[in-house]
Chain A
């Protein structure tokens, strides 16, 4: 199979059958996928309040990074952060309770889908805002816990915000252990890259003397092998690194708001993986779906979250 789907100059390439993944990695990938599908279903049923942003299609990015990040690293996530959270904590109960405002919620139902904090994991809902904060955390880590880093997930749309450049400048000047992970899915809410990004993310990073690395495949072992020495260098010889993933958002921006034409590129790593490894996929997907169904029923039956620490 060879498919090459392009937008702007960023490509997600599926040029050969995907290598078999460990059961653990695949289980986590499919846990995230089933979680996000369940959220969209719950919305349709009117069970969820507010809004949410699913990471369908992008699940492999935080799962690939999982083994490259350490417990003492800080992770800054954004509005599309369920996969980031689940890859770090594998806690679908706490996350769903947070989104549904039920007992056991990670942040007592106050933060909801896009404002989570647990230990050294934190997400915020304003684009670009987390990068300066991550730079400050990275400064503190560099001084007090050398070897640990701050990792911040951003999207392609985020690069419209001035905070990104102020933070890159600081991180480069102060040689901070800051890993910026760009999930470039070619669409900023409803606006395609071509209408919102002049030049390239690589060019912008390099303008600050910041190293940039592009990843255009969804194969987790390949991604890890390529990134491991780069991430290690961020730890041992601190300085910022921008890793840009070409990826595809399969679903809507939030829910029911996908205005992209049918031919807009949407490569699904999972369709390719299932074709290559049908038996493993079917077994693990069934387990993930069953688990998420059970959790959803259990969480929905819980009493409302109580906010005690206003």
Chain B
């Protein structure tokens, strides 16, 4: 199943199971079904609770907050994550604050879905990964879609938090397959973090092998732990491609960690493995400066001071707008090669290409 279909089914299931849920957004009525077709079929099946809206991101998020305040639950689709800037006041100054600023906790079950990321040639205002602008807002949680996390479970978790959540959805994931890694790797879930590592069965084992790892899930032999990559879901495939190249070309074995929730991000369960790794590298699609990775690195430096062997290596897009032309866009955004190079540089390999 494709990731986009998994998300579409998750929304169908959510609306079917919970009559208090509304879905609001621009152009999401059938037959169009949303700019990325994620809301396909919803308006036909649930016409009363799937509402197409004017081009009014601020009011739509505000109205969704109102529905949530008055006993409902709301899922908002922002057509492109770039446009969530138009709802910033409602998110920062109303939805997130309302959870705590009235003295007692006010539940506000609200999910704002933000199709993010580039590699599609949409240019500077339709390609951004604006996660970093929402880090550190009290009462606001950030999640990112991944090929390893079932979207229904993620939606249920966000709504159960009773506070506004942003769900970033890298557009290129919509057409990728759920749950698949290539034959070199296997993956497990440790809490909400997908852990991808060398398949101990080696090539020929099942690339789709998975299971809940349990307490032993992070027991990875030193020989399989040359580095750890931490990336949001949108970077999972580029990270896996880099891991494959590092293994086959440099005999370096890494572990990939893909958390579902980006903020607040609690690395506690991961500290044993992070403390043992020769290199920790955090990669993301946002532009340079004030990044999610910078936030994670500061946290890890503090928690693992004296154990980390090197500074946490950070990978992010360039300090630049995102150009439209494919060759220019490629230079600005994080590629498989960017991650591969960063790991080699981080490990002190001066021959890094």
Which residues of A are in contact with B by a Cβ distance under 8 Å?
Answer: 74, 105-111, 115-117, 122, 124-126, 129, 131-141, 143-144, 150, 162-163, 166-167, 169-170, 173-174, 307, 309-310
Count of B interface residues, CB-CB < 8 Å: 34
For B70, list chain A residues within 8 Å (CB). 74, 136-137, 140-141, 144
- Pick out which of these stretches binds chain A: B94-102, B148-156, B293-301, B328-336: B94-102
Measured in the bound complex, the distance between the Cα atoms of B48 and A143 in whole Å is 9
Measured in the bound complex, the distance between the Cα atoms of B101 and A126 in whole Å is 14
Is the CB–CB distance between A170 and B106 below 8 Å?
Answer: no
For B71, list chain A residues within 8 Å (CB). 140, 144
27 contacts between A and B (CB under 8 A): A107-B102, A107-B103, A107-B104, A110-B103, A117-B98, A117-B103, A131-B59, A132-B56, A132-B58, A132-B61, A133-B90, A134-B66, A136-B63, A137-B70, A139-B66, A150-B66, A163-B59, A163-B62, A166-B56, A166-B58, A166-B59, A169-B59, A170-B53, A170-B56, A170-B59, A174-B51, A309-B103
Is the CB–CB distance between B94 and A309 below 8 Å?
Answer: no
For B48, list chain A residues within 8 Å (CB). 143
Q: Report which of B62, B100, B105, B106 forms a contact with A135, defined as CB distance below 8 A.
A: B62
Q: Report which of A110, A116, A126, A173 forms a contact with B100, defined as CB distance below 8 A.
A: A110
Measured in the bound complex, the distance between the Cα atoms of B344 and A139 in whole Å is 56
Is the CB–CB distance between A111 and B101 below 8 Å?
Answer: yes
Q: A309-B100, A309-B104 given as contacts; is B66 within 8 A of A137 (CB)? A: yes
Q: Does B65 contact A (CB under 8 A)?
A: yes
Q: Does B54 contact A (CB under 8 A)?
A: yes
Q: Which residue of B lies closest to A169 (CB)?
A: B54
Measured in the bound complex, the distance between the Cα atoms of B97 and A124 in whole Å is 10
Is the CB–CB distance between A132 and B101 below 8 Å?
Answer: no
Measured in the bound complex, the distance between the Cα atoms of B105 and A74 in whole Å is 19
Measured in the bound complex, the distance between the Cα atoms of B93 and A115 in whole Å is 11
For B105, list chain A residues within 8 Å (CB). 309
Measured in the bound complex, the distance between the Cα atoms of B58 and A126 in whole Å is 13
Is the CB–CB distance between B93 and A110 below 8 Å?
Answer: no
Measured in the bound complex, the distance between the Cα atoms of B68 and A162 in whole Å is 22
Q: Report which of A115, A135, A166, A170 forms a contact with B102, defined as CB distance below 8 A.
A: A115
For B51, list chain A residues within 8 Å (CB). 174
Is the CB–CB distance between A163 and B89 below 8 Å?
Answer: yes
For A74, list chain B residues within 8 Å (CB). 70
Q: Which residue of B lies closest to A163 (CB)?
A: B58
Is the CB–CB distance between A136 and B102 below 8 Å?
Answer: no
Q: Report which of A111, A134, A136, A170 forms a contact with B103, defined as CB distance below 8 A.
A: A111
Q: Does B69 contact A (CB under 8 A)?
A: yes
Is the CB–CB distance between A133 and B66 below 8 Å?
Answer: yes
Shortest C-beta distance, A199 to chain B (Å), equals 21
Measured in the bound complex, the distance between the Cα atoms of B51 and A136 in whole Å is 12
Q: Which residue of A lies closest to B57 (CB)?
A: A166
Is the CB–CB distance between A173 and B54 below 8 Å?
Answer: yes
For A139, list chain B residues within 8 Å (CB). 63, 66-67
Q: A140-B67, A140-B70 given as contacts; is B62 within 8 A of A116 (CB)? A: no
Is the CB–CB distance between B66 and A107 below 8 Å?
Answer: no
Q: Report which of B54, B56, B69, B89 forms a contact with A136, defined as CB distance below 8 A.
A: B69
For B101, list chain A residues within 8 Å (CB). 107, 110-111, 115
Measured in the bound complex, the distance between the Cα atoms of B70 and A170 in whole Å is 17
For B59, list chain A residues within 8 Å (CB). 131-132, 135, 163, 166-167, 169-170
For B60, list chain A residues within 8 Å (CB). 132, 170
Q: Does B178 contact A (CB under 8 A)?
A: no
Measured in the bound complex, the distance between the Cα atoms of B99 and A62 in whole Å is 27
Measured in the bound complex, the distance between the Cα atoms of B69 and A122 in whole Å is 10
For A150, list chain B residues within 8 Å (CB). 66
Is the CB–CB distance between A137 and B100 below 8 Å?
Answer: no
Measured in the bound complex, the distance between the Cα atoms of B66 and A141 in whole Å is 10
For A124, list chain B residues within 8 Å (CB). 93-94
Interface residues of B in 190-231 (CB under 8 A from A): none
